[in-house]
Amino acid sequence: MEASEVIKTFCERVGIAFEPDDDGTVSLEVDGSVVTINDLREIDAIVIVGDLGEPPPERLEALYKVMLEANYLFGGTCGATISRDPKTGRFALCRVMPCVIADGDFFYAEVERFASTLETWVKIIRDFRDAPPDGDPPMSMPSGGTSGFLAV
């Protein structure tokens, strides 16, 4: 299936209009966070990006450590990666899926899992921001993080 077909099927299933931008991007709000679904024709893939918000000015080193460890083998990101937008300074969660493996049902399940992971990371960042200066924030990593790997 082509990316545009998968994205259109997803939009129909969740009841939103399929009105992609000129670059094939569809945006929606999920639990208060902006999520964009991108058709990357150049690499025949679909990319889902979710806004994680502003980084807390204090405790950045500790938060970066947690994020890097979560990115390792996708252990705390459920197949996505966490990054920082160099233009805005905001954190983002990003998931890339080759179109070859994406169909309507698979993509819907992946977006659901992405939204759950996004919600967890928004909370983790908020907890880092709200934690007392001398205390560690409570941590609860997303589960199911080694998606896409074959266990042998």
Please indicate, yes or no, if residue 139 is contained in any of the structural domains: no
What radius of gyration, in Å, describes the C-alpha atoms of the chain? 16
The whole domain housing 116 covers 3-130
- Give the predicted TM-score (pTM) of the model: 0.83
pLDDT at residue 150 greater than cutoff 70: no
Please indicate, yes or no, if residue 144 is contained in any of the structural domains: no
Please indicate, yes or no, if residue 77 is contained in any of the structural domains: yes
Residue 7 CB: number of other CB atoms within 10 A? 25
pLDDT at residue 139 greater than cutoff 50: yes
CATH number of the domain that 28 lies in?
3.30.1460.10
Please indicate, yes or no, if residue 136 is contained in any of the structural domains: no
For 81-138, the pLDDT digits (tens) are 999 999 998 999 999 998 887 788 889 999 999 999 999 999 999 888 887 766 666 6
Question: Between 80 and 16, whose confidence is greater?
Answer: 80
What pLDDT is stored for residue 99 in this prediction? 84
Question: Between 54 and 92, whose confidence is greater?
Answer: 92
Domain count, the chain: 1
For 11-38, the pLDDT digits (tens) are 999 898 888 888 778 998 888 889 999 9
Please indicate, yes or no, if residue 147 is contained in any of the structural domains: no
Please indicate, yes or no, if residue 126 is contained in any of the structural domains: yes
C-alpha–C-alpha distance, residues 20 and 10, integer Å: 13
First-to-last alpha carbon distance for the chain, in angstroms, is: 29
94: which strand partners?
A: 49, 81
Provide the pLDDT confidence category of residue 141 given band limits of 50, 70 and 90: low
pLDDT at residue 47 greater than cutoff 70: yes
Please indicate, yes or no, if residue 17 is contained in any of the structural domains: yes
Please indicate, yes or no, if residue 13 is contained in any of the structural domains: yes
pLDDT at residue 146 greater than cutoff 60: no
